[in-house]
């Protein structure tokens, strides 16, 4: 079976004029989509552009109000996810719908267990699961292991295995790379190429433009519920063109200009980390952050970067070494003390670590400071709302209105809420125009762990501007990211981490993407100059 045969000219799926409305919003407004057998068709668009709704239409979760959907030459309309699966369309959502407590085999055959007379035939299921995993080139994943014990990348493979077990002809993947480290993404791509070579079509959704060029054949861009570009060639369409199709902006705007600063002032730096270690996580890490400076740590998941950040913050006790703020030592393993001293953290997992999703925006913004707004232990809701509203305006939070639940916000705006949490100055009454903390008091050092995870391109630029402005106002920022361009574009100074060690430290201007990537991945150690 050659590639030219499988990529026949007749599309396996074509959508025309798909419309889907929800109360108060037209989520899809005449969407076109054409997918060929054996291609990787990338779907691009900002959050809220309608990608999720479109996926759910394909998966049979939503029924479109208008438009036609032709699947393998026949007009279809799926009235349930089961119908879509049976027709050969499988969807792998970003939050994988795997059951952690079940084994790999049980997950793969979930809902269509191999059974005889009501008894599950474990042996047969194990063998079937093994066969599916082999097809994916991952016979190394043990079929009897509980899924909860697998790393994220392996879970992704299991999800794909489940889709294959349904004989899927079209695989819809919603941001599969978001939770994967760099080498795991490479492996994922290998598996996808293998599938497409057998004629299976893939709809691939991502925020990472460079991935589109690497894996994609054609690109369809969504903007505000409409298709703003159809079937662009993935390899030859320029990034600036893609971004402008999504946003109307060009890519230069993404990173704010660095502020030229005079030479480092005298006196101790704002944050000093000296020989900090935790067994199995990181070893003898030393670094400094000065007021007004953004320091970026480049490193993959597992390099010890998030653990380092949490240890500096006191969320994990250090085993040796110390953390000093303004020359004063912080007690290890005590978050409240760190917060009192002026540290703030925007953690990696926004939903599980940072936000109370059911609560209104303002209560999330004031989560760290409500006690300071209180008088004699009595909280002041209206004051909190006023202060939070100022912060929200300051950060251009969309939509306005701080009493709506934070879960109704997009990822980028949720991240702004988390940042805003650390900008409140309890000592300054609202209305004085200085609700935000000044550099000399309140939060003086922000720790940002993957600040733009799951945030779309337009909102990212917004966040970058906010972070840069905070630094300009005197805040110290220590940021961790697995996206090298982000670190290089935003930070003043960069530390590269791998396997729990800092391999290199240099001003961002002196580094380029290839050099850092080389260090971050198992690159040559010859260039290492220890800090």
Partner 1 sequence: MTEPVDVADHRPAGPGPADRGWSFSQWFRADASEPVRRNLGLVIVLIVLYAIGAWSRPDIFLHADRLWSNELTVLTLASSIGVVAIGMTFVIISGGIDLSVGALLALASVWSTTVATQSYGAATMVLAALLVGTIAGVVNGTLIAYGRMAPFIATLAMMVAARGLAQKISGKTTQVVSVHAITDIAQRKVLGLPLLVVIFGVVAVLAWVLLNRTTFGRRSAAIGGNGEAARLAGINVRRTQVLIYALSGLCCGIAAIMVTAQANSGSSDHGNLYELQAIAAVIIGGTALAGGRGTIVGSVLGVLVFTQITNLFIVNNLAIEYQLIAQGVIIVAAVLVQQFRVSSLRRGPA
Partner 2 sequence: MTVRVTNRYSAGRRRLLTAVAVVAAGVVLTSCTSNTPKSSNSGSTSSSSSTGAAATGKKVRILFSGPVADHGFLAAINSFAKAEAAKYPDVDFKALEAAADAPSQIAAVQTAIAEKPDALIIFPQDGDQLTGVGKAATAAGIPVINLDRKFNDASAYRMFLAGDNYKVGFNAGTYIGQKLKGKPNSVIGEITGIATLALTKERSQGFKDALAIYGLKVSRQVNASFTVQSGQQAMANLLAAAPHLDAVFNHDDDQNIGSEAAAAQAGRKEFFIVGTACSNTMLKHIKAGDARIEADVTFTPAISATAVSMARLIAQGRSMPDLAGLPMPSNMLIDSELVTKDNVAQFEKFGWD
- Asked if residue 427 binds partner 2 (CB under 8 A), the reply is yes
| Least Cβ distance, residue 445 to partner 1 (angstroms) | 13
DSSP of 177-227:
TTT--HHHHHHHHHHHHHHHHTT-EEEEE-S-HHHHHHH-SEEEEEETTEE
Which residues are within 8 A (CB) of 528 and not within 5 positions of it... i.e. 6 or more apart? 503, 504, 519
Q: Which does 149 bind (CB under 5 to 8 A by kind): partner 1, partner 2, none?
A: none
Residues 129-158, buried b or exposed e (16+ Cβ, 10 A)? bbebbebbebeebbbeeebeebeebbbbbb
Task: Copy the structure tokens of residue 14.
Answer: 């074509």
Site string for partner 1, 328-357 (x = CB under 8 A): -------xx-xxx----x-x----xxxxxx
Which residues, 6+ apart, have CB-to-CB distance to 26 below 8 Å? 19, 20, 225
Contacting partner 1 (CB under 8 A), which of 126, 207, 305, 421? Answer: 421
Q: Does 112 bind partner 2 (CB under 8 A)?
A: no
Single out the segment in contact with partner 1 by CB under 8 A; choices: 66-74, 183-191, 370-378, 496-504: 370-378
Q: How far is the CB of 439 from partner 2 (least distance, A)?
A: 15
149 binds partner 2 (CB under 8 A): no
Six token digits for residue 431 = 């209305």
Q: Applying CB under 8 A, which of residues 269, 304, 426, 430 lies at the interface with partner 2? A: 426
Q: Which is nearer to partner 1, 173 or 338 (CB)?
A: 338
Tokens of 302: 């597992």
Report phi then psi at 17, rounded to 5.
Answer: 55, 35
Which residues 350-389 are close enough to bind partner 2 by CB under 8 A? 372
Q: Give the range of 21-29, 112-120, 223-231, 516-524 binding partner 1 by CB under 8 A.
A: 21-29
Q: CA 86 to CA 237: how far, in whole Å?
A: 35
The torsion angle over the Cα atoms of residues 462, 468, 472 and 476, rounded to 10 degrees, is: 130
By rule CB under 8 A, what string of x and - marks binding of each residue 40-59 to partner 1?
-------xx---xx------
The token pair that represents 327 in the structure block: 């020359």
Site string for partner 2, 328-357 (x = CB under 8 A): ------------x-----------------
389 torsion bin: left (phi>0), alpha (psi -120 to 50), beta (else): alpha
Task: Find which of partner 2, partner 1, none residue 426 binds, CB within 5 to 8 Å per kind.
Answer: partner 2
Contact indicator for 343, 443 with CB cutoff of 8 Å: yes
Q: Which residues bind partner 2 (CB under 8 A)?
A: 340, 372, 426-427, 441
Q: Which residues bind partner 1 (CB under 8 A)?
A: 22-25, 27, 47-48, 52-53, 313, 315, 335-336, 338-340, 345, 347, 352-359, 363, 367-368, 370-371, 374, 377-383, 385-386, 389-390, 392, 399-405, 408-410, 421, 429-431
């Amino acid at each position: 079976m050659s590639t030219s045969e499988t990529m026949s000219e007749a599309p396996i799926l074509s959508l025309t004029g798909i419309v889907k409305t929800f109360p108060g919003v037209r989520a899809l407004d005449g969407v076109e989509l054409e997918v060929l057998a054996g291609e990787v068709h990338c779907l691009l668009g900002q959050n809220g552009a309608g990608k999720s709704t479109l996926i759910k239409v394909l998966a049979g979760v939503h029924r479109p109000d208008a438009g036609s959907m032709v699947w393998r030459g026949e007009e279809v309309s799926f009235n349930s996810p089961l119908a879509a699966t049976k027709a050969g369309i499988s969807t792998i959502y970003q939050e994988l719908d795997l059951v952690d407590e079940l084994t790999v085999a049980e997950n793969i055959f979930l809902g269509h267990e191999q059974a005889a007379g009501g008894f599950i035939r474990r042996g047969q299921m194990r063998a079937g699961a093994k066969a599916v995993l082999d097809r994916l080139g991952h016979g190394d994943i043990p079929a009897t292991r509980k899924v909860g014990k697998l790393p994220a990348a392996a879970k992704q493979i299991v999800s794909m295995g489940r889709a294959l077990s349904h004989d899927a002809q079209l695989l819809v993947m919603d941001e599969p790379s978001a939770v994967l480290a760099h080498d795991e993404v490479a492996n994922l791509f290998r598996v996808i190429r293998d599938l497409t070579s057998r004629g299976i079509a893939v709809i691939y959704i991502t925020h990472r433009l460079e991935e589109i060029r690497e894996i994609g054949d054609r690109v369809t861009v969504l903007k505000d519920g409409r298709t703003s570009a159809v079937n662009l060639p993935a390899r030859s369409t320029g990034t600036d063109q893609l971004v402008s199709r999504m946003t109307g902006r060009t890519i230069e705007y993404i990173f704010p200009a660095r502020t030229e600063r005079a030479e480092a002032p005298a006196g101790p730096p704002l944050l000093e980390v000296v020989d900090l270690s935790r067994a199995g996580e990181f070893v003898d890490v030393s670094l400094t952050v000065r007021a007004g400076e953004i320091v970026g740590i480049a490193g993959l998941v597992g390099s010890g970067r998030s653990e380092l950040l949490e240890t500096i913050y006191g969320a994990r006790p250090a085993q040796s070494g110390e953390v000093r703020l303004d020359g004063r030592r912080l007690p290890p393993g005590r978050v409240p003390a760190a917060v009192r001293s002026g540290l703030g953290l925007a953690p990696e997992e926004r939903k599980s670590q940072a936000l109370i999703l059911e609560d209104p925006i303002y209560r999330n913004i004031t989560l760290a400071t409500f006690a300071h707004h209180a008088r004699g232990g009595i909280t002041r809701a209206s004051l909190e709302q006023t202060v939070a509203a100022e912060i929200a305006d300051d950060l251009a939070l969309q939509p306005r209105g701080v009493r709506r639940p934070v879960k109704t916000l997009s990822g980028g705006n949720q991240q702004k809420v988390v940042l805003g949490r650390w900008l409140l100055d309890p000592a300054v009454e609202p209305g004085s125009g200085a609700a935000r903390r000044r550099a000399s008091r309140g939060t003086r050092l922000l720790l940002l762990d993957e600040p733009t995870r799951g945030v779309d391109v337009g909102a990212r630029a917004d966040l970058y501007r906010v972070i840069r402005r905070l630094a300009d106002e005197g805040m110290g920022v220590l940021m961790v990211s697995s996206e090298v361009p982000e670190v290089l574009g935003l930070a003043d100074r960069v530390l590269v981490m791998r396997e729990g060690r800092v391999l290199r430290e240099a001003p961002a201007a002196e580094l380029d993407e290839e050099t850092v990537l080389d260090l971050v991945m198992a690159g040559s150690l010859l260039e290492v100059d220890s800090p």
